[in-house]
Amino acid sequence: MRAVRFEGDGKIALREVERPSPGPFDLLIRVEACGICGTDRHIVKGEFGASPPVTLGHEFSGIVESVGSGVTRFRVGERITADPNHGCGLCAPCREGKVNLCENLQPLGVRRDGGFADYALVPEAQAHALPLSIPPLHGAFCEPLACCIHGVDLAGLKTGASVIVLGGGVIGMLVVQLARLAGATRVVMATRQADKRALAQSIGATATVDPSGDDFLRRLIGESGLFPGGADAVFECAGVPETVTQMLKLTKRGGTAVLLGVLPPEARVAIEPLGLLLREVRLQASFLNPFTHARAAELIASGTVKVEPLISRTITLEEASDAIRQPAPRGEIRTLVVP
């Protein structure tokens, strides 16, 4: 079968590899779609740890082709979405229920073979059912949606809350929708690209702003701004130092700033600790998807969260290596690899 392999030192290529056989508690699935995440690009650039040689791709779903002898929850022909983040269950974080912080985490598509391939193995415990009635490409959004659910949970949004979302990629677009579902009445998306601002408003943002210009903060939190004094929650979804700095300034007294974007390891951000202290701003990092993947699958299956408008393009496995190696093209929300 074909698989997109990360081989270390920035090398990524399509290879012919042996089709895997399921162990006793594994599912072999025929991959229907796998999303290209920023993390995939970070891995190839050496900015995020992986275990080469490994098949990349951690946002995927597909049809069950065969099952191991011990599998009881799934049958051949069913559609599943894979939660790629497989904890050991033995370390202190796992025993405390913090599986996303597992000391021995073995994510599919990072340290174990993932979904940029014709077929992939998924442990039964990491599989969640999706109906055959939904569009096949939609299952690839379950993993990023699950990560966003965790971030929104950590923000503790209450009915009537005000929210600012920084960044117009797939994470920002999903957070906009989740914030509205959580009861936020005002959700503003900040992104430079006009087409992304239009898309955000079509899926639930109550307003959008272009963050360009020196008056950006004033337009949002000034006396005559959209949120005088700041918003209840601000989500950083762009993964750049500038927006990390901005989110702390945009959060109101007693509010929460949630870091969802992935920055390179060398990135540094200057903060004003006294200002955070006097305003009692909570800086909350959000990592992965502990026990939220099933909820994401339900939202995708029901159509409650809109993902069709977030598909920028579909490409083949033959095109995937170049697409991952290169920076995301302007305007991209999510590119899906369809074997």
Over the stretch 256-296, which tens digit does the pLDDT of each residue have? Answer: 999 999 998 899 999 999 999 999 999 999 999 999 999 99
Look up residue 189 and give its two tokens: 């998306």
Local confidence band at 124 (pLDDT 50, 70, 90 cut-offs): very high
Q: Find out whether 165 and 172 touch, Cβ atoms under 8 Å.
A: yes
CA 112 to chain centre: 18
Look up residue 116 and give its two tokens: 């940029």
pLDDT in tens, 209-229: 999 988 999 999 999 999 999
CA distance 220 to 301: 35
Topology of the domain covering 2-143+289-337: Quinone Oxidoreductase; Chain A, domain 1 (3.90.180)
Task: Please report, for the chain, the start and end positions of each structural domain, with discontinuous segments joined by +.
Answer: 2-143+289-337, 146-285
pLDDT in tens, 147-186: 999 999 999 999 999 999 999 999 999 999 999 999 999 9
CATH node for 146-285: 3.40.50.720
pLDDT in tens, 44-55: 999 999 999 999
Helix, strand, or coil here: 183? Answer: coil
Query: DSSP class of residue 329?
Result: P
Q: Note the pLDDT of residue 211.
A: 96
Q: Which of 238, 222, 143, 150 is nearest to 189 (CA)?
A: 238
Q: Which of 46, 171, 187, 33 is nearest to 114 (CA)?
A: 33
CA distance 237 to 214: 21
Alpha carbon of 130 to those of 15, 126, 290, 298: distances in Å? 29, 13, 19, 8
Q: Note the pLDDT of residue 171.
A: 98
